[in-house]
Amino acid sequence: MREAGLLLASMLLFALLSCTPDASKLEALDKDGNVQAYVETAAGSTPSKNFDFLAAPGNLGSIPGTNLEVLILGQAAKSGKVVKILPIALINLAEGETESSVVIAVPIEKEKQTIKAEKYSSLLTEYHLAHQMVQNWFLGRNGLGKTRLRGWEDETAARALINSSSES
């Protein structure tokens, strides 16, 4: 009987520890005002069935409470993980008549960062190759020529879009 109780307790503890947060119950900002991102695809994975050779250059996900997509330039994180992020840029895209913006961010935790950019200007100057790689990945992820670049914006624009999207 005691062994069955230990087994049940162990199973319950494992279930609790392995639960992923429900993204629909999260908000864009945590209680300290940090932007949160919900990871859907880990860095290095291939999110597209059509182009399974095109590995994501960062963790892909969404900002809870918004309809915004986010690319987190950092160490690979498991799907379902919530990461506190520092938005550093927006990449603005168009596919046909549909326009979209993707938040480009780094993890707040320094040890999880793969680049040390805290502003768009440093992404552009100090990490120019990463900037180009991200841009080329987004332009090619749905097939060459299907997505157009509308431009880049800085961290202020990224944060403003997050704030306005989470309020609506």
Look at residue 54 in the predicted model and tell me its pLDDT: 77
Domain 22-167 has CATH 3.20.140.10: no
Report which secondary-structure segment, H or E, holds 166. Answer: helix 155-167
- The span from the CA of 166 to the CA of 161, in Å, is 8
Return the half-sphere exposure (C-beta side, CA atoms, 13 A cut-off) of residue 155.
15
Alpha-carbon distance of 95 to 146, in angstroms, equals 6
Label the pairing between strands 98-107 and 69-72.
parallel
* Region for residue 91 given its phi and psi (left: phi exceeds 0; alpha: psi -120 to 50; beta: otherwise): beta
Whether the full predicted model's pTM is greater than 0.95, yes or no, is no
- In tens, the pLDDT along 81-127 reads 999 999 999 999 999 999 999 999 999 999 999 999 999 999 999 99
pLDDT at 24: 62
* Domains of the chain, residue spans: 22-167
Q: Which residues of the chain have pLDDT under 50?
A: 5-9, 11-19
Question: 29-45: buried (b, 16+ CB within 10 Å) or exposed (e) per residue?
Answer: beeeeebbbbbbbbbee
